[in-house]
Structure formats: structure tokens, C-alpha cells
Amino acid sequence: MASTTASSDLVPRILPYLDRLLIFALLEHLSEQKLYPADVLLQAKYDVMKDTNMMDYISETYKAIHGADATVPAEITERRNEVLEKLAEFEKKAEKILEIVRNPEVVNALRSDPAQNFSYVKENYGVTPEMVDILYHYGKFQYNCGKYTEAAEHLYQFRMLSNDSEMVISATWGKLAAEIVTLQWENAVSELLKLKELIDQKNFADPLVQLNHRTWLIHWALFFFFNAENGHEKLTDLFLSPAYLNAIQTSCPWILRYVTVTVLTSRNARKTSAGRSSTYATYQKQIRELVRVIKQERYEYSDAVTDFVYALYVDFDFEAAQTKLAEAAAVVKTDPFLVGSADEFLESARHLVSELYCQIHQRIDIRDLSARLNLSPEEGEKWIVNLIRDTRVDAKINFSEGTVIMNHPPQSVYQQVIERTKGLSFRTNQVLAHMLTTRSATVNGAEAGEVQE
Amino acid sequence: MSRFFAGGSSDSETESEEELYSESEEERSEEELSEEEGEDDESTEEDESEAESSDEDEGRGFLKAGAKGSAARFLRGEESEESDEDESKRIVKSAKDKRLDEIDAIIRIIENAKKINDWVHISNEFDKLNKIIAKATQQGETPKLYIKAIAELEDFMNETIKTEKDSKKKMNATNARALNSIKQRIKKNNRQYEDLIAKFRADPDGYLLEAEEILEPVAPVKLRKGAEFEAAAAAIRPGAAAVAVEDTGDAAFATIGRGGRTITITPESIFKQLRSILEARGKKNTDKAEQIRNMERMLDVAVTVYQKIRVLLVLVATRFDLTSSAASFMPVNQWKSAQEEITKLLAILEQNPLYVVQEDAEEVDDDEQEPVPKDGKPLKVFGSIVSLVERLDDEFTRSLQNIDPHTPEYIDRLKEESALYSTIIRSQVYFERVKLDSSANRVLVRRLELLYYKPEQLILTVERLAWSSLPKGVESQITPYSEDQDASRLINAICVKLYNQDNRLFRTRAMLCHVYHHALHNRYFHARDLLLMSHLQATIHTADISTQILYNRTLVQVGLCAFREGMISESQQALQEICGTGRVKELLAQGIQMQRYAQTSPEQEKIERQRQIPFHMHINLELLECVYLTSSMLLEIPFMAQSGSSPDAKKKTISKPFRRMLDYHERQVFTGPPENTRDHIMQASKALAAGDWSTARELIRAIKIWDLIPGTDKIKEMLGEKIQEEGLRTYLFTYGQFYETLSISSLASMFDMSEGKATALVSKTISNNEIAAALDQKTNAIAFIPGVEYSRLQNLALALSDKAVQLIDSYKYR
């Protein structure tokens, strides 16, 4: 087991794409997992934190590494004082602007347009652009000191007032990090979406920069695995949107493991939501998309998780899938991000296997299927009963022979036509509306042209 | 003529022969003379320069005479020998006398014409007279008679014009026109002889009496030895400038320039000479071979670095000028000297870092003073090494295009590639040193294009050869050379450098070469990713044709690579675009394909020929076709079996050419044993469609051309496996409807594969909804679900719904 985890551990690959404090959060998580020796982790933590401004924590870690009575190096104490000074200085500088933006009157007057907001505070309170910038720097500094809540607040206020797109993006990154570290998932999700929008909209002179931004965003998004309930759906959407899928393929194919897990487990999340049949269709579509990407990137990246999908959907080799599933389960259980979703993943994977199995077979030996799912015959039988009850599988168990008999009714032609034409009328209306708007626009344009002439 | 012969001998016998000779010459060159009349006029003014026509005659004389190889040969040309026979019958007259007689006769006619005022006649005769005079003046002084005639003619003309004005009676139209035209001509003509006419006017009688004895002044002509003369004569073309004459003694050589001037080359005069050569460049009658010889000598004489650089620059450029016509290619020896001279130039520049040849340097007008580098700053010399190197490469390619590839000549020529390659590397190093970045890029592209199609081993050899020929101390920053060189790393280094520059064409070409290189070395995914990331597919149609050819070559290579890696459908897709058109030869520029009904003009064909890829770079077309058809077979046969007899079956095809060939093959009444690749594949296809996979495998494996692919056995094995798999699928599609159940084990034994693999294959087919069946685990068999036959209406309804969805998908929101 140790060998599989060591070889399939993605943490070293992921680290370069994370912020210091996010790494710290990850390391915290790892120390809970006890995957790595504690002293290594402590040293790693120390190395990570060394350059931040969380001086108290640094000295604590230092002591933990070198023994309680080791004297903290002078430079650390020195820097601690420096940091405190700086903090005080920032506080003083920011005092005025903070007073203004905290004013309930101002808060009420602020709208979503930063330019308008800025002119409002400028006229009424005499705020200068420099003061707004102070907010940004103050927020950044606080973030480095580990005061996440304040940092998030200041960065938010800054964003309300500033128009500088570079700094706004930077502030949004800061806020996202702060929200993630403080485990404010609701806010974090909205920040994530905002950031995604900003990255997509902005015209990057160099496509590489955009790619890098996307890569970071994808990696940061992994933290949503800590909070399985809320983020999954958004995460699947994010990973599978074409631009991000491309980013994964080009710069970080190892993320495919997480994509696979999110896609497979999203089935359970979807179960609760309304409109099952349509979500089932999207689920199928997502699986297909996933298989395509895994197939394409196989030469660059493969691990137990992706191999499982490959064996199942490309080779249709159930035996290989079975062994891969066992491996994949081990991998998932040791992955710092996925450990929370391990059971869920396993269940979804079994679902997939049995579903495919049922689709292909007419008569299934229960023992065989149970073996395929890594279950005992009794468990297997229960599983199948559940499956028959829960899903659309049309099957009966023949107890004396120990088989399941599947009934594959040929799809009726009416059903087929209905399936295909389901969305047509809606889409026709869409097209019509679009045509009308563009036409009226061109007609208006033409008229305007005539007038000009 | 006489002046020419004066140097050789001057006894009276030759005189007479000469006359005969010149007579026959004259008849021949009557027409040419009229063309060169204008030039003749000038010739009288310049004593030194000889008229063109006489040059020509002399040249011819030489050529004829040259064959005999003795001094006397000049005096007895072939014609004169001929005329020896009738010598006795003729009255011997000197050429001059004869000419004088002619002049006299013409003048008399003019006199007569004057009397009746017939200007048309006068005009004609006057022209004739001038022609003869032109001849005469070459040999000596203008005959007095002529001077008298033209002087009188002018007087008469002036008189006529005067009376014309006075008299009311009009002259007839043609006559008047003739008068007018002759008026101009006489004025122009007489201006040349102003002095003489004046003399004549002053003393008409005395002038004529002045003795005619004054013999022509003999122009001293420097002479040359016979041995060298042969070569010179070969080089002299009609109208050639230089003339060499044999000398009796062992006089020192001297080159005789136009008009008998001696060119002595001294270090001081080099710049002047160069300038005159440069000025003569592009003019009609410059003899480039002569110029090259001159410059070669100048090079020996040149003392300073600056002189050498200047001479070399002009010399190489002139060598390239030597072959301007598009059809032929540069003579190999010229090419070699050009290559050597470029290398020499680069060596000089390497040794003298203070001299830099640049395109943006200022041209120096001052021939007297030689610029020297000052204050340790490099001296810029005007010139472009990059264009010389590029031209060298172009000429090399052109010669390969024109030499028949099946001759040893081609191989000999190909051997010179290493020299070219090392010159390119050397120039690249030079450009890196003087930081001429754009030039370095241009050379890098050339270098890359010499490498990209070579397999790794060959690249390493070429590199080793090239670097060993370079002197020590020549090092490149972009592509440092080391013993354990890795070919891919080298290509990568060159390409990365080219990606990071601004020229889009270079970037594109570098990208394509890089992809080609990857594909050649079986790195399919790298090649594919690079090709897709380049987004070239969208823009390649706008590129120039040679880049499009490169793109096609790359695409084909990627397809072959996929095939070698066992990725059949990828291979088929990549090759489809090229092989599906039936214009493979044209698209890959590997030979000209005659299009039926297409009319190509000779110019188009010529351009087409210039685009051809030299033979050693060709991709084997037969192998290509074989790969394409085999992969088409593996995809198309199961597909045909699957679509069976449904109405769409005919419309949907994966590979049109394959279908066409299959149809043709099936229509044949009698099919013999397979002879060529195509027969093999067609018969294999038929066997595969019938479920007889082992025959199909044998047929495919029997194709000989697989031996051309490295790792033949692996390929054959892979193909055998694929045929098994596709055979099984085809079998299921074709015969599935006749079974209710089919045991997996019997299926597996039928196709000679493991049960597990058979199960996996069947599962895949079922899961993809390709057959209506399910597996029965208890009996380990496939249970076919009885098919539901749709009515026609239902089928149409399904098709309609499909079409509707397609339609709505194709709407573009803008």
C-alpha cells in the first residue's frame, strides 16, 4: 500500500500551483492523514511559512522542530517586530478610508459599478485613488499575517472601488484564498465563479498567461473537495467547460484524476436534484466526455483512477476494471483532496460497473457480478436488489439458479423519435428570437446608415 | 580586316586571300551589318575601339582557325581554301580597291538620280553607300570619294529644298517624304565628317589628289599564347569583348579588354575594376566568364582584407549571375567554386573580427582610398552573406531537381550536401557572432530544412561531418555541438529559436519540420499535439505553395507514424485528406501528374517542375498507398457489414477511393492471383468481408512493401491482430441475424483469440449499440435479440428527426 501511495501521490505536482497559505492548509490536512512522517511535514510547514508574516506561528513551528527550549533565531524576532510596526503603519494609513467605507450610508450607496462608486466617494468624502490602493496593500499584508477575515473584508471593499483590472484580479485571488483558508465555502464558490469570469473575459496579450491563470484556478478549486456537499456540481462544470478541459490537457493532466472522481460522484449529488432523466442524460454525456479526454491523454498521464475508467469504457475488460478499482480505491483513500469522497467514489464506480454489466448481459451470475464489484455474494445480492429498486434497470432475480435475468426491450421507435425531437421546439424558438434580434439590429443599422447619408 | 592581320603577316599574297575571305564574309554579314550601322558610325570617331561587326568577324575567324592550331590558320580560313580553286579565274583585286569601285558606282547612281530629282532613289543609294563606307572606315581612312559625294549631296539637297520652297509646284508625296528623311540623315552623317568635308570644301581638287597611299595605321595589338587561347576562344561568344591574338614570341600574358586595352591588375586598381564590373552587370554584352577570370586573378593580387572581402563578394555574386535562365541549373564546378569562395569569405571574416559584412552598411564611393576599421570599431562592408548562402542552397536543390536521380551523378551531387551544410553552419556562427539575428534565422531555416526529413542516425552523421570540417574555435550558441549529440535536441533547439522570432513563415515552417521530425521517429502524440496546437489547418490554405507542400508531407508522415504505432483510424484520418484526392503526386510535389482534360501551359509546367522535391526526400508513394488502403480496409469492411443493406449504406463511406477500387475489383469476371499491392489488399478485403480472416491476414502479410518500414515483423503482427478483431466484428455484423445464440468459446476459436478478448470485443460492440444482442453468462453465449424491423414510415421519421437536429445544430449564433 505504501508503494502505491508514494507513486500515485500527486501532492508534489500540485504544490507549485498553490499559494503559500493554501499549501499550509494542505499540509495541515496531510498531518491529519498521517501519510507522511510528522517531522517532515513540520519542516515543510516551516519552510512554507518562513517568508510569510505569521511570525508567532513561525517561532512555534521552529520550536516544534528543534525542541521546545531551542531559542528562536534573532532574525525571526526581528522580523516579528518589523511586521508589527508595518501593521501599525498600515492601520494608521488605512484608518480614514476604512472609516468611510464602513460608514453605513456609504455601504448603502455602493452599487456594482466600481467607477460609479469611486466617483461617489470621491465627491462626497474626498477619497483619492491612493487611498483605495492602500486598502489593497493593507488587505494583502493582513492576508500574509494570517488575518484572513479582515483581509477578505478589505479586499472586498477595494474591489468595490477600484477599476484597475490587474489589481482587481489580484484582489480576487487574495479573497478566494482567504475564503478557502477560513472555510467560507459559500463565499469561496462565488469568488471562484467571479474569478473564472474575470479570466475568461479579460483579453490577455499572451495566451500563456491566461493558461497559467486557469491552471491556478483549477488547482485552487481542488480545495472544494474538503467540502463535498456544495462544490461538486460547480466543480464538474468548471472542469468540463471546454476552456478548462483544454487547460487541464495542456498544462496539468494529473488533474484528470480529480475530474474523474468529481464526474463519477456527481451522480449521487444529482440524485437529490429534480428532473432526474435529464440529469441522467447529462451525466452520460459527461462520462463520454471524460472517457474521450482520458483516452487522449493516456500517453501523458494515467493512474489507477483513470485506468479504471479506461478499462471499463474503452477495453470493456471487466476483470481489469475490477483490479483497477481496488487500486483506485486505495489511491483515493490516500489522496489528501479525495479522502473525503472515497466511499462515494467507490459506490459510484460500482454503479457504473453494474450498469454497464447489465446493459451488456442478458443473464448474469450473481456470484460473478459480486466478484466484479469486490463484494461478497450476499452483499452482491443486496446490491443488485437495490440497483433494481433504484434505477431503471429492468431485471428479475432467479434465486434457484442464482442469476439475474435482464430484460432488454428494444427501444420503441416512437420513444426514439420523442427523445430526439425533445429539445427541438425550444431551440427553434431560441434561434427565432436570435434571428429577430439580429435582424432588427441590422435593419436599424441600415436605417441609421441611410439617415447619415 | 587588314588591321587585324597586320600583326600576323603582311605580304601581298595574304592580301589577296584576305580579300576573298572578306568578300565571302561580307555576303554573309550583310544583314547583320545593317543592324550594326549605328555602332559603326561611332567607330570612326574612336580610333581605338573596334566596331562590333569586325569583332564578330574576328571572333569567327578565330573559331574557325582555332581548329588548326598554327599561325597560318588565320590566313587561310576554310573559305579561303575553298576559294583557292577558282583563284586563277578571278581578277585579283585588293579589297580596298574593290570597295572603292563599289563606292564609285553608287556615287554615279546618286549623280544620275540627282538629275531627275528622284529622292527615293537617292535615299536608298545613300544607305547602301553608308554601309560600305562603314566597312571601309574600319580598315582605314574614309575614302575621299565618299567625302566628295556627301559634300555634294548636301549642297544639292540644300539647293533642292530652297527651290522647293520657291517654286509653286509641289513635289510628289513619296519624293517629298524621302527628301525630308534624307535631310535628317545627311545632316547627322555629315556631322561625323565635318573636318574632312571642311577640308574638301576648302580645296576640292587638291583634296582629292592627296595621295591615297597613306596606309592605315596599324594598331599595336598585344598578343597571347596559343595554349590559353583555346580556352578563351571557347568562352568568346558573338559580340564578346575580349580578343586575344597569338604572338610569335613568348611575350608575357596580358588580358586584353574591350577594344584592345590591356588590363593589368594592381592592388591599387582593384576597386576601380570592381566598380566597372559592377556597372557592367546586367548589361547585354558583358562577358561574365571573363569577369570571373579577372576577379579570380584580382583575388590573388589583393593584399588587404578589405580588398579580399570586396572581391569575394562581387565574385560569388557574379558566379550566381552566370546561370540566370530558370530551366537549367548552375554548373557543378561553378557551384563548387562559389561554395569554396563563400567558405573563404567566412574564414576571412572569422580571422578578422573587425570586418563585418552587412546589408545596411554604406556603400563607399571613393575608389582611391581604402577604408580601415578605426578605434577598434568594426568596419561595415556592404554585402549580404545570407543571400549568397541562400542562393547556394537554392542552386543545390535546383541541380538535384534536374539531375536524373537514378544516375551516379545524382549521388555525387548529393555528397556535396555536407559541404553545403557546413557552410550553412559556418555562416550561422558568423551571424551569431555579429548579432545579425534575422540573417541567423534565415540560415537556421535552411539548416532545418536540410535536416528535418533525415532519420536520427543520418542527422548525427551529417552533424559530425560538418563540424569536423570546420576549424576549431567555431562555436554556436544556439546549437552547440558536442560528441554525444542528440538529434531531437538539435532539432528542438533550432525550432525553439525559430518560434521565438517574428517572421510568421519561418515559424510555420519550423513547426512543420518539427512535427515531421517527431512523426518520423514514431512520437505520434508529440507530433499530433504540436500540429493541433499550431492551428495550421485553418490557415494553411492561405500559405504559399511550398509551405503547403511541406504541410502535406508532414500530414502524411503523421499518418504513417500513426499506422506504425497501430492507430489505424488516426492514420486513416490523417491520410484521407491527401490520399483521398487522387492527386498524391501533385500534393506532395513528387512528380508531375498529368491531369485529364486539364490544360497546363508550358509556363505552369515549368513552375510546377521548380517546386518538385528532390528525389532523396521523397516519401514512398507505393508504401503510402498501401498504408492508406490497408487502414481503409480495416475500417471500411466492418462498417460496410454493419450498415448492411440499409438505404444509407451507399451514401456513407469512410474512404471513397477504397470503395471505388473494391467495386472495380468485384466487377471483374476473372480474378487471378494478386500481383501488386492493390490486388493484395482488394482480395484481402473480400476475404475479410466473407469472414475468412486468416486468408486476409496471409494476403496482407504477403505484401512486399512492408519491408520498407523499420520493424516489419512488428507491423505484420499488429496487422494480423487488427485483422482478427475486425474480422470478428465483421462476422458478427454479417451473420448475427442468422443466429439466436452464439457461443463465445466457438467464436473465440473461430478467430483464434482468447475468450476474454472475444468477450471484451463483443461487449464493446454491444455497448456501442452496434449490434442488438446481449451476453448470457450462464451459457457463455451471445444471445441475439430478434431485430425489430421498422416500417418505411418509421425509418423516414427517424431520418427526419435526425436531419432536424442537424439543421438546428448548424445554426450559428453570431
Per-residue pLDDT tens over the stretch B317-341: 888 877 665 557 778 888 888 888 8
d(CA A116, CA A138): 23
> Which tens digit of pLDDT belongs to each residue from B363-383?
666 555 667 766 667 777 888
B76 contacts: CB under 8 Å, gap ≥ 6:
B17
Query: Which DSSP category does A312 fall into?
Result: I
Average of pLDDT values for A391-408?
Answer: 75
What's the N-to-C CA distance of chain B in angstroms? Answer: 86
In contact, B578 and B552? CB cutoff 8 Å: yes
Average of pLDDT values for A423-434?
Answer: 85
Single out the residue of B628, B556, B621 nearest to residue B591, CA to CA: B621
d(CA B626, CA B571): 12
> Which segments of B322-376 does DSSP mark as H helices, in order?
332-351
CB contact under 8 A, A365 and B774: no
Single out the residue of B772, B769, B715, B717 nearest to residue B739, CA to CA: B772
Question: What residues are paired with B549 via a beta bridge?
Answer: none
d(CA B221, CA B251): 12
| Most confident stretch, A373-377, B218-222, B645-649 | A373-377
Window B:743-772, CB contacts with A under 8 Å: 756, 760-761, 763-764, 766-767, 772
Is B811's Cβ below 8 Å from some Cβ in A? yes
Average of pLDDT values for B652-680?
Answer: 85
Query: Which DSSP category does A16 fall into?
Result: G
The pLDDT value given to residue B50? 43
Name the pLDDT band for B723 (thresholds 50, 70, 90).
very high
- CB-based burial, B333-362: b 16+ in 10 Å, e otherwise: ebbebbbebbbebbebbbebeebbbbeeee
Name the pLDDT band for B2 (thresholds 50, 70, 90).
very low
Name the pLDDT band for B87 (thresholds 50, 70, 90).
very low
Is B777's Cβ below 8 Å from some Cβ in A? yes
The secondary structure of B446-501 as a DSSP string is HHHHHHTTS-HHHHHHHHHHHHHHSPTT---SSS---TT--HHHHHHHHHHHHHTS
**Within 10 A of A190 (CB to CB), how many other CB atoms are there?**
15
The pLDDT value given to residue A446? 60
| B549 vs A245, more confident | B549
How many Å separate Cα A216 from the centre of its chain?
11
The pLDDT value given to residue B235? 44
Q: Which residue has the cell 549521388?
A: B411
Backbone angles phi, psi at B382, to 5 degrees: -75, 130
The pLDDT value given to residue B779? 81
Is A399's Cβ below 8 Å from some Cβ in B? no
- CB-based burial, B468-487: b 16+ in 10 Å, e otherwise: eebeeebebebbebeeeeeb
> Which tens digit of pLDDT belongs to each residue from B218-256?
444 444 444 444 444 444 444 433 333 333 334 444 444
Query: Which DSSP category does A311 fall into?
Result: I
The pLDDT value given to residue A389? 76
In contact, B797 and A417? CB cutoff 8 Å: yes
| Most confident stretch, A129-143, A208-222, A434-448, B159-173 | A208-222
**Within 10 A of B71 (CB to CB), how many other CB atoms are there?**
14
Question: Looking at the predicted structure, is the pLDDT value of residue A31 above 70?
Answer: no
Q: Which residue has the cell 573636318?
A: B195
**Percent over 90 (pLDDT), chain A:** 0
Name the least confident of B326-340, B435-449, B564-578.
B326-340
d(CA A336, CA A343): 14
> Which tens digit of pLDDT belongs to each residue from B246-257?
333 344 444 444
Task: Search chain B and give the residue with CA nearest A421.
Answer: B801
In contact, A48 and A15? CB cutoff 8 Å: no
The pLDDT value given to residue A283? 76
The pLDDT value given to residue B324? 61
Question: What residues are paired with B357 via a beta bridge?
Answer: B381
Helix or strand (DSSP H, E) at B245? strand B245-246
**Percent over 70 (pLDDT), chain B:** 72
Q: Which CATH architecture has domain B739-814?
A: Orthogonal Bundle (1.10)
> Which tens digit of pLDDT belongs to each residue from B741-764?
888 888 889 888 888 888 888 888
Helix or strand (DSSP H, E) at B432? helix B417-434
The pLDDT value given to residue B188? 76
Longest dimension (CA), chain A: 89
> Which tens digit of pLDDT belongs to each residue from B519-528?
999 888 888 8
Single out the residue of B805, B807, B803, B765 nearest to residue B784, CA to CA: B765
CB contact under 8 A, A406 and B774: yes
Average of pLDDT values for B41-58?
Answer: 44
Average of pLDDT values for A82-110?
Answer: 72
Name the least confident of A169-173, A232-236, B10-14, B128-132.
B10-14
The pLDDT value given to residue B519? 92
The SS3 call for residue B602 is: helix
Average of pLDDT values for A305-327?
Answer: 84
Helix or strand (DSSP H, E) at A404? strand A403-406
Task: Search chain B and give the residue with CA nearest A412.
Answer: B788
d(CA B489, CA B459): 11
Question: Looking at the predicted structure, is the pLDDT value of residue B514 above 90?
Answer: yes
Average of pLDDT values for B16-34?
Answer: 46
d(CA B622, CA B676): 10
CA distance B809 to chain A (A): 9
Residue type, position B65, single letter: A
Name the least confident of A318-322, A404-408, B167-171.
B167-171
Name the pLDDT band for B628 (thresholds 50, 70, 90).
very high
The number of C-beta contacts closer than 8 angstroms across A and B is 75
d(CA B572, CA B657): 12
Backbone angles phi, psi at B691, to 5 degrees: 85, 5
In contact, A54 and A80? CB cutoff 8 Å: no
CA distance B292 to chain A (A): 53
Name the least confident of A326-340, B526-540, B687-701.
A326-340
Longest dimension (CA), chain B: 141
Across chain B, what does the average pLDDT equal? 75
Q: Which residues in chain A are contacts of B772 at CB distance < 8 A?
A: 410
In contact, A367 and A410? CB cutoff 8 Å: no
- Residue B353 is placed in which grid cell? 573580427
d(CA A219, CA A223): 8
Q: At what angle do helices A55-66 and A74-102 cross, to 10 degrees?
A: 150
Q: Is B521 exposed, middle or buried (0-12, 13-18, 19+ CB in 10 A)?
A: middle
Is B776's Cβ below 8 Å from some Cβ in A? yes
Question: Looking at the predicted structure, is the pLDDT value of residue A235 above 60?
Answer: yes
Name the least confident of A165-174, A246-255, B344-353, B486-495.
A165-174
CB contact under 8 A, A401 and B777: no
Window B:204-263, CB contacts with A under 8 Å: none
The pLDDT value given to residue B512? 92
| B647 vs B570, more confident | B570
B583 contacts: CB under 8 Å, gap ≥ 6:
B593
Q: Is A439 exposed, middle or buried (0-12, 13-18, 19+ CB in 10 A)?
A: exposed
The pLDDT value given to residue B552? 92
Question: Looking at the predicted structure, is the pLDDT value of residue B269 above 50?
Answer: yes
d(CA B684, CA B680): 6
d(CA A215, CA A255): 10
d(CA A75, CA B751): 76
Q: Which residues in chain B are contacts of A406 at CB distance < 8 A?
A: 774
Domains of chain B by residue range: 2-209, 510-619, 622-738, 739-814
The pLDDT value given to residue A306? 86
Q: Which residues in chain A are contacts of B798 at CB distance < 8 A?
A: 413, 416-417, 420
Name the least confident of A165-179, B225-239, B310-324, B702-716.
B225-239
The pLDDT value given to residue B595? 61
CA distance B491 to chain A (A): 22
**Percent over 90 (pLDDT), chain B:** 6
Average of pLDDT values for A176-187?
Answer: 73
> Which tens digit of pLDDT belongs to each residue from B573-608?
889 888 888 788 888 888 776 665 666 677 777 777
Q: Could you give the dihedral angle defined by the CA atoms of residues A326, A329, A334 and A338, in that order, rounded to the nearest 10 degrees?
A: 160
Residue type, position B128, single letter: K
In contact, A54 and A146? CB cutoff 8 Å: yes
| B397 vs B254, more confident | B397
The pLDDT value given to residue B249? 39
| B456 vs A27, more confident | B456
Is A362's Cβ below 8 Å from some Cβ in B? yes
Half-sphere exposure of B251 (CA within 13 A, CB side): 15
CB contact under 8 A, A438 and B814: yes
Is A420's Cβ below 8 Å from some Cβ in B? yes
Question: Looking at the predicted structure, is the pLDDT value of residue B554 above 80?
Answer: yes
Question: Looking at the predicted structure, is the pLDDT value of residue B305 above 60?
Answer: yes
A405 contacts: CB under 8 Å, gap ≥ 6:
A362, A363, A364, A395, A396, A397, A398
CB contact under 8 A, B790 and A368: no
The pLDDT value given to residue B559? 92
Give the CA distances from residue A181 to residues A30, A156, A169, A188, A214, in Å, rounded to whole numbers and listed in that order: 15, 16, 18, 9, 20
Average of pLDDT values for B680-706?
Answer: 89
The pLDDT value given to residue B666? 86
Name the pLDDT band for A34 (thresholds 50, 70, 90).
low
Name the pLDDT band for B351 (thresholds 50, 70, 90).
confident
The SS3 call for residue B283 is: coil
Name the pLDDT band for B197 (thresholds 50, 70, 90).
confident
